[in-house]
Structure 1
Amino acid sequence: MKNTGRLPVNIKGWTLSDKSGHSYRFGNLRLNGHSQIRVHTGIGHDNRRDVYQDRRAYVWDNDGDTATLRNDHRRIVDSKTWGRNGH
């Protein structure tokens, strides 16, 4: 996930979900301007560069899936589709 703007954004309450409805809600996290953070499915310790969903099972479908990022008002901020379902 990348903040392409120059101003920081607090993404507390934002969600990242897949096509099947698995959803991850971000805690109190400030994403500085022109910075990025990696979102991992597995278990780990959150830090400035990586956050973990703490799931034991893999979520993203390698053959085709859609990742949807929504803000704390449930509005779509970004979406990315890949694989056989992508165009």
Structure 2
Amino acid sequence: MTLSASSASRRIAATVITAGALVSAVALPASAQDHDRHHSRARVVISDVQADSPGRDNGSNRSLNREWIEITNQSRRAVDLDGWTLRSDDGNRYRFDDVRLAGHATVRIHTGIGRDTRTDLYQDRHHYIWDNYSDTATLRDDRGRTVDVDSWGRSADDDSWGRGHHHRR
């Protein structure tokens, strides 16, 4: 059987198109995987706040350490928090130094004095940091980018009272 030149050209073109489609189909999962890898980046959030130390605010170290903020890594991968900061509305700042937060782990940052562990860090302060009634905690990465913000009490934007004005970036 002989093919005409135009028939052979159509067959070659169809073969090239089919091969191109197969290459694209094989390449697609790789780019989708890169896209997923980009979106599955570590997510670190302010997960809980205890701004009002239970009992009387008597300034004791025990009372200061009952004032805390929890930071949670919601991803599977560990995150190096070295150089990250946690700041109050009043400008009080805690800088994370040599801290690695495992995947799906939480660390509690206490105001008072104590010995740092994997689950508890201490600011070693002698005064309360967080306002019992209204404050904002801002978590920034080592480049100064806002990672998460959590506000409680009276919002500057409105006259409502409440907890959990959460703003994530």
1:49 is aligned to 119
Unaligned ranges ≥5, structure 2:
1-70, 156-161
Q: Quote the Cα distance in structure 2 between the aligned partners of 1:83 and 1:42.
A: 23
Normalised to the residue count of structure 1, the TM-score between the two structures is 0.96
- Report how far residue 84 of structure 1 moved: 1.5
Matched, 1:30 2:100: yes
Unaligned ranges ≥5, structure 1:
none
Identity %: 54
Q: Of residues 6, 11, 19 in structure 1, which corresponds to 2:89?
A: 19
Q: SS at 2:112's partner residue?
A: coil
Q: SS at 1:78's partner residue?
A: strand
1:68 is aligned to 138
Q: Which aligned segments of 4 or more residues in structure 1 are displaced greater than 4 angstroms?
A: none
Q: CA RMSD in A?
A: 0.9
Equivalent position amino acid for 2:138 in 1: T
Aligned residues: 87
2:149 is aligned to 79
Matched, 1:2 2:72: yes
Query: CA-to-partner distance for each residue in 1:43-74, whole Å, 9 max, x for gaps?
Result: 00000110000000000001100000000000
Which one has a larger percent helix, Structure 1 or Structure 2? 2
Which one has a larger percent strand, Structure 1 or Structure 2? 1
Q: Quote the Cα distance in structure 2 between the aligned partners of 1:5 and 1:83.
A: 29
Structure possessing the higher radius of gyration over alpha carbons: 2
Equivalent position amino acid for 1:34 in 2: H
Q: Quote the Cα distance in structure 1 between the aligned partners of 2:115 and 2:78.
A: 22
